[in-house]
Every structure is written in C-alpha cells, then in structure tokens.
Amino acid sequence: MPPGRYGYNQEADVLYTLADGTPVNELWDEFSQSLTLYNETRDRLMNMLTYPVNRWWEPVPNLGDVDDFEPASEFGQPRGIRTGAGYRSVGYSFRWFDLATRFTWRYLQEALREQVDSVHNAVLEADRKNIFREVLRAAFTKENGVVQPMKTNVNMPPVTVYRFFNADGWVPDAYKTNTFLSTHQHYLTSGAATLDPPDVEAMEDTVRHHGHEDSTFILMVNRVESLRIQTFIKGTLGASYDFIPSQQLLPWLFTQANIAVGQVPAAPPALVAGHPGFVGTYGKFNVVEDDWIPAGYLFGFASGGDRALTNPIAWREHENAALRGLMLAEGPRADYPLIDSFYQRGFGSGVRYRSAGVLMQVTVSGTYTTPTIT
C-alpha cells in the first residue's frame, strides 16, 4: 500500500498547485472576483420582469385612476390629495439554495485549470437556471402563498404572497372607464386545444385595461406556441394584426402584391431586441421564445424597463447586504479555502403589481391549472 494514500490527511498531503502548476489560491481569488462581476448583472429578461427588494414585505401603491381636480368655490378650501391612500401590503418569499463543488485535495492533485474552471462555470449556469425557474414559478402559480419574518422578535402576522389577479376577493382599482369585480382573473384558458389570435389579443387586453399602455409588453412562449403565433395574419382566424418577424430572423415577406404595407414597427427596447429568443411582434406584444416556458402556456407582462419600480415581480434578496448575491463559501481549511468549498444564494419573489401580468393555458378546459416547472 503506497504511503500517504490512506488515513488522516496531513498538511503535506494538501497540494499547493494543480496538476498543470496553477496555484490553488489563485483560483479562489479569481472565482471570488468573478462572482462580484456576475452578481452585478442579471439576465436581460429578468431585468425587464423584476424589481429588486430587500424586505420580506412592503406597501405597494395600487395602479388605477389618479385624483381629480374639482370645481373651485368662492369661499371653500380645495380637497387635499391623498398621496398615502391606495396601498396594499404584499409579501415576498425567501429560501436559501446551495451547491457543493467537492473540490477535494485528491481531485485538485490531478485536475487541470480548465477542469476546475468548467465546474465554476457550470455553477454559474445552474444559478441562472434556478433564479429564472423560481421567478417563473411565482408567475405561473395561481394560488397565493404566505410569508413570515425570519426574525423571531418581529411581532407581525404573516403577509400574503400574491399572484396576479386570481379571483381571491381583491377588487382591482378602476382605470378610466374600466371597472372590475372581486372575481377578476388573470389566469386564463384558450377554451380550445389550439392557440388562436383572439387568445393572444385577450391577454393583451387583460393587461392594457389596467393602465399599462405606456409599458413594454412582452409575451414569453415555448417554441410550440412561438411557431403558431408566427403564422398569425390579419383577417384570418380572427386576427386583428399581422405577426411581424424580428430583423434577426428570415428576410421579410409581404404577401400583398409583394410590397410593404404600412410602417415598420418601432424597435423594441435593447434588453428585448438583444435577447436571443426575440422573434417578433404581435400587436403590442414583443414575442420572446424560451423553452423554460412550459409547452401549452403563455406568459405576458408589462415592463417598465430595466429593474424598474413598476415591473410586475419582486426579486427579493437578504436585508443584510453581505448576504446578497451568489456567494462562494470557503471550506474548512482557511489557508486553502477552495478545498471543500461550496456556493450558496438566498432569494425569493412575489408579485408586486397584480395587474401587470397575465397567464394563459392552451386547453379546452375553462379552468387554469398551475404547471410543473422543473
């Protein structure tokens, strides 16, 4: 039996370099620095969809009609504007996630730098997937949740983690001539086995009539629904619009005597146009194809812009700034922290503006079923 291969690990057993001579602690420093840069950026679509928060709940103003002026009287005092009215308490979930690299000294003894780098990069990709998946779950889940403060000395009852309007008794504020009931619903079904243009237009109207006309409308769909939407032509199947492909797709083809009719649509925001899944526009929607969206489901939302206050979903991180972002936790050896290190992140989400998103399931059923997002 070769000496030093079994039993307790002694200091001499721990290697200072990889098999190709790369210092182990140099990698730790580089990984830590790369996480700082990584945490400063997020997925483009995530930035359009979410607004960052650091609290487990917050009062969010309702979107609806603004206050009115009234005729002035000769002797009366004008009515005061009620800037604090119309707020609702909404809660945001929070969970810790972690993933171990299992960088043992035995592995590092034989590893090349490219192998260790590939593990680090795989963790970053897993983190992106986890964030996007959890935020999508917040959107696609119809049933409300609850959240409590993590601090045991906070004397406050649980707060509801809301979804988009789901007929739970919350009466949306009126907007212009549009009024709503406590049964108002943003989880729709097509009522047929095939997606048709009026279904997408109904999603647009469901968001538009709450006062989001000036926002960027984004429709996220699976490849299956994307190909269907790309066939929509005004005047067929009840379509009010033509689907207009993005300039990064095939050359444009106009079937009306092979000439262009009307104006080319305005370019969408750079965060949308630069997304590899952006395929074009239908009506007010910028259509983004992403196979993280379950087949048979569509998700439309109104975005205020890059991490804008009016974005529909909250992206919650820890109140303590030192505990935000993806973190690399050192292993038991302080002098060689990469050995047995692991990654961790804590975050949560919840809907901030219940009117700013709409879901549709393509089904003959009249009842929306929350999908499983894996």
Note the pLDDT tens digit of each residue in 317-373: 999 999 999 999 999 888 889 988 999 999 999 999 999 999 999 999 999 999 998
Contacts (Cβ under 8 Å, ≥6 apart) of 246: 273, 278, 279, 280, 281
Element (H or E) spanning 302, and its range?
Answer: strand 297-303
Identify which has the larger pLDDT, 219 or 106. 219
- Alpha-carbon span 162 to 156, nearest angstrom: 18
Burial of 316 (0-12, 13-18, 19+ CB in 10 A): buried
pLDDT for 253 equals: 52
Domain positions in the chain: 13-62+88-361
List the strands of the sheet with 243-245, edge to edge: 187-189, 357-361, 297-303, 216-221, 285-289, 278-282, 243-245
pLDDT for 156 equals: 79
Q: What is the pTM of this model?
A: 0.86
Query: Does residue 12 carry a pLDDT above 50?
Result: no
Strands 285-289 and 187-189 come out as: unpaired
57: tokens are 């709940």
Average the pLDDT over 55-64 and give the result: 81
Which CATH number fits the domain 13-62+88-361, given the four candidates 3.40.630, 3.90.1690, 2.60.520, 3.10.360? 3.90.1690
Q: What mean pLDDT value characterizes the chain?
A: 86
pLDDT digits (tens, 9 = 90+) for 256-309: 555 555 556 667 788 788 788 999 999 999 999 998 899 999 999 999 999 999
Burial of 163 (0-12, 13-18, 19+ CB in 10 A): buried
pLDDT for 51 equals: 95
Q: Which residues pair with 95 in a beta bridge?
A: 347
Angle formed at CA 153 by CA 147 and CA 156, multiple of 5 degrees = 45
Q: Which residue in this structure is represented by tokens 């009234």? A: 70
Strands 145-147 and 159-161 come out as: antiparallel
- Alpha-carbon span 226 to 45, nearest angstrom: 17
pLDDT for 261 equals: 55
**8-state DSSP, 268:** P
pLDDT for 262 equals: 56
pLDDT digits (tens, 9 = 90+) for 175-200: 999 999 999 999 999 999 999 999 99
Residue by residue, DSSP assigns 40-85 as H---HHHHHHEEEE-SSEEEEEPPSPPP---PPPSSPPPPPP-TT-
Contacts (Cβ under 8 Å, ≥6 apart) of 128: 43
pLDDT for 6 equals: 43
Distances in Å between the Cα of 284 and the Cα atoms of 241, 244, 265, 371 are 10, 11, 10, 26
339: tokens are 């050995």
104: tokens are 């043992």
pLDDT bin (cut points 50, 70, 90) of residue 9 is very low
pLDDT digits (tens, 9 = 90+) for 153-179: 567 789 999 999 999 999 999 999 999
Contact 332, 322 (CB under 8 A): no
pLDDT for 11 equals: 39
Task: Give percent of the chain above pLDDT 90.
Answer: 62
- Alpha-carbon span 370 to 59, nearest angstrom: 27
- Alpha-carbon span 131 to 348, nearest angstrom: 9
Contact 48, 286 (CB under 8 A): no
Burial of 307 (0-12, 13-18, 19+ CB in 10 A): middle
pLDDT for 74 equals: 64
Task: Tell me the HSE value of 136 on the side-chain side, using a 13 A CA sphere.
Answer: 22
